[in-house]
Chain A
Amino acid sequence: MSHLEQLYQQVILDHARERHGEGLIEVDGAAMAGESFQVNPTCGDEVTLRLRLAPSPDGGAPVLEDLGWEGVGCSISRASLSILTDLVVGKDVREVDGLAEDFRALMGNRGVSLGDEREDRLEDGAALVGVAKFPARIKCALLGWMALRDATAKALVIGPS
């Protein structure tokens, strides 16, 4: 795999072109909703992510029912948002936290695999492993995850009305 292909694996280019979750969802009247706006000051990239949580049917952690995002960004940041959408919708916030932790670990791992078990959990997100070899691009991949964390925290603080 060439230097460049380590960064731009085909699955990333596909997600950057056919983006999942693009477009803000409506949350009017939703009990637990949150929105976050994040910028990458080095390049001026921006993302707004809005999500809606629902109480767990079995009394456990709230479930991330739906999310959508919009913004300007490079292929890495948009692919990361698209992959994130696939990963987290339908999961409860504890599982989402675990995935976010796995993803941040992947970005801090200098391009080395986290092992099959954790990378399997990240599904297409594992293809971003090569980003960690390009320090200037790690922020691009993390932008959406930062927005997700912030929006989730806001939704939880507001809580059921």
Chain B
Amino acid sequence: MSTTAEQATGLGAQELARVRADFPILTRQVNGKDLVYLDWGATSQKPECVIDAEQDFYLTTNAAVHRGAHALAEEATAAFEDARAVVARLVGVDDDEIVWTSNATAAINLVAYGISNATAGRGGAEAARFALAPGDELVVTELEHHANLVPWQELAARTGAVLRFIPATDEGRLDLSVLDEVVTDRARVVAVTHASNVTGAVTDLAPIVARAHAVGAIVVLDACQSVPNMPVDLHALDVDFAAFSGHKMLGPTGIGVLYGRRELLAALPPVTTGGSMVEIVTMETTTYAAPPQKFEAGTQMVAQTVGLRAAAQFLDDLGMAGVAEQERVLTQQLLDGLAAIPHVRVLGPLTATDRLGVVAFEVAGVHPHDVGQVLDADGIAVRVGHHCAQPIHRRLGVASSTRASVGIATTPQDIETFLHALAGVRAYFGVED
């Protein structure tokens, strides 16, 4: 999906200043310097409305949801379900196709373990569509975050399925020239990222989804980087499951989202069992509630869903097409600036087309930890390490990298400050030109 096809314009300096003022943390200083926060890809900062929503819930509405007949319980339940509706609308799906999880990793694991349970014969005849036989294939990609790789390795190990992967190109995109070879008629799951958290590459999903469905595989999408930064319509993308996290999209920690196509959520066996997810319980056996409640056992993270509702509304009010265009311009500024600094190599596409503003790079002769430390001394927050994606680092010939990632409140001045500080890093460590 092209982020520029929307003909959107960015926010404009005035609106950006207004948006930025909504983030109290961005006014603080770090090491005596104004904070320059360029780690949005790891976790976003929170606008005041999100913090207020969560606080207001505890101050005025707090109660257990989906039980009790008192006023607070009804209001809390309404808030909990309204949050589901707002999040569903942001990503173009129906309310009952949204399952709350503790984070995106838990959402992906829910699908993998649900398939496991189906393979073990749980879930009755309708779950048989998920059951794996030895020799069935699970397809991942070389770009995946560990969260969309390790659960599939584990599922393969438990079931005898075979793990295969779509390789990455030198540019840090998926090599779709081998798509038909990798996704064979033995494929049952294709787990793929919507946008890499290392190279920023936005996946060309249409051919992958078409191929997967042609061979009878389901598509599980990691949408953690895309949902906060670009318009995402999961129905239009025609994926079967998708996972994203609250904290990366201006919401609180402790809340993640699993989207599942309605009939698939109905057929997938539950994973975590216990209270709140049942219909009839006897001493011998139990029948389960309809989705999404079937997957929401135990006391839910109600305050976090209320905070996430505020975050999703905040993004929807800004308009995701405008957000994407705003960040595209910043990303190009960042890429151009990095290209102008000698001995800096960007890991990923060098233009902001079909690319998000999560930009990993290496500085020749200086370890990422040291790069990040020198930037921190100037109040600049970036990520260092392998960003939970060791395979793509290995593929691109590095053990780790430094990563700057832009967000909705990033300014052109933030980028300039970062580039200026980065340009001095090699000299600090006495690395010869």
Query: Which B residues lie within 8 Å of A30 (CB)?
Result: none
Q: Which of B31, B369, B399, B428 is close to A3, meaning CB atoms less than 8 Å apart?
A: B31
Bound-complex Cα distance A53 to B428 (A): 38
Bound-complex Cα distance A86 to B15 (A): 58
Closest partner residue, chain A, to B394 (CB atom): A44
> Is B19 interfacial (CB-CB < 8 Å)?
no
Q: A17-B430, A44-B400 are in contact. Are A74 and B31 (CB under 8 A)?
A: no
Bound-complex Cα distance A73 to B369 (A): 9
Query: Which A residues lie within 8 Å of B384 (CB)?
Result: 43
Total interface residues in chain B, CB < 8 Å: 19
Query: Which B residues lie within 8 Å of A13 (CB)?
Result: 429-430
B379-433 residues at the A interface, CB under 8 angstroms: 384-386, 390, 393, 399-400, 428-430
> Is A76 interfacial (CB-CB < 8 Å)?
yes
B124 CB to nearest chain A CB (Å): 41
Bound-complex Cα distance A41 to B370 (A): 17
B335-379 residues at the A interface, CB under 8 angstroms: 366-370, 373-374, 377
Bound-complex Cα distance A37 to B423 (A): 34
Contact B373 A43 (CB under 8 A): no
Closest partner residue, chain B, to A140 (CB atom): B369
Total interface residues in chain A, CB < 8 Å: 21
Query: Which A residues lie within 8 Å of B374 (CB)?
Result: 4
Bound-complex Cα distance A42 to B387 (A): 9
Query: Which B residues lie within 8 Å of A38 (CB)?
Result: none
Query: Which A residues lie within 8 Å of B31 (CB)?
Result: 3
A52-79 residues at the B interface, CB under 8 angstroms: 72-76
Contact A46 B399 (CB under 8 A): yes
Query: Which A residues lie within 8 Å of B399 (CB)?
Result: 43-46, 72
Closest partner residue, chain B, to A73 (CB atom): B367
Query: Which B residues lie within 8 Å of A17 (CB)?
Result: 429-430
Bound-complex Cα distance A76 to B374 (A): 13
A74-130 residues at the B interface, CB under 8 angstroms: 74-76
Contact B370 A75 (CB under 8 A): yes
Query: Which A residues lie within 8 Å of B370 (CB)?
Result: 8, 74-76
Give how many A-B residue pairs fall within 8 Å (CB-CB).
52
Bound-complex Cα distance A76 to B367 (A): 10
Contact A4 B377 (CB under 8 A): yes
A37 CB to nearest chain B CB (Å): 14
Contact B373 A7 (CB under 8 A): yes
> Is A51 interfacial (CB-CB < 8 Å)?
no
A81 CB to nearest chain B CB (Å): 13
Chain A 28-44, CB-CB to B under 8 Å as 1, else 0, gives 00000000000000111
Contact B385 A44 (CB under 8 A): yes
Contact A4 B373 (CB under 8 A): yes
Query: Which A residues lie within 8 Å of B367 (CB)?
Result: 45, 72-75
Chain A 1-41, CB-CB to B under 8 Å as 1, else 0, gives 01110011000010011000000000000000000000000
Contact A44 B369 (CB under 8 A): no
Bound-complex Cα distance A46 to B390 (A): 13
Q: A13-B430, A44-B399 are in contact. Are A74 and B386 (CB under 8 A)?
A: no
Contact B430 A43 (CB under 8 A): no
Query: Which B residues lie within 8 Å of A149 (CB)?
Result: none
A128 CB to nearest chain B CB (Å): 14
Bound-complex Cα distance A76 to B373 (A): 11
Closest partner residue, chain B, to A46 (CB atom): B399
B379 CB to nearest chain A CB (Å): 11
B50 CB to nearest chain A CB (Å): 27
Contact A42 B385 (CB under 8 A): yes
Q: Which of B377, B386, B393, B429 is close to A75, meaning CB atoms less than 8 Å apart?
A: B429
Q: Which of B386, B428, B429 is close to A43, meaning CB atoms less than 8 Å apart?
A: B386
Bound-complex Cα distance A44 to B429 (A): 21
Bound-complex Cα distance A140 to B368 (A): 12
B62 CB to nearest chain A CB (Å): 35
Contact A74 B369 (CB under 8 A): yes
Contact B377 A44 (CB under 8 A): no
Query: Which B residues lie within 8 Å of A134 (CB)?
Result: 373
Query: Which B residues lie within 8 Å of A46 (CB)?
Result: 399
Contact A76 B369 (CB under 8 A): yes
> Is A137 interfacial (CB-CB < 8 Å)?
yes
Q: Which of B368, B373, B377 is close to A137, meaning CB atoms less than 8 Å apart?
A: B373
11 A–B contact pairs at CB < 8 A? Answer: A4-B377, A8-B370, A8-B373, A17-B430, A42-B385, A44-B390, A72-B367, A74-B369, A75-B369, A137-B373, A140-B369
New A-B pairs, 10, CB < 8 Å, besides A13-B429, A73-B367, A74-B367: A2-B377, A8-B428, A42-B385, A44-B400, A72-B367, A74-B368, A74-B370, A75-B370, A76-B369, A134-B373
Task: List the 9 shortest-distance A-B pairs measured between CB atoms, nearest first.
Answer: A74-B367, A74-B369, A4-B377, A43-B385, A44-B386, A44-B399, A44-B400, A75-B370, A72-B399
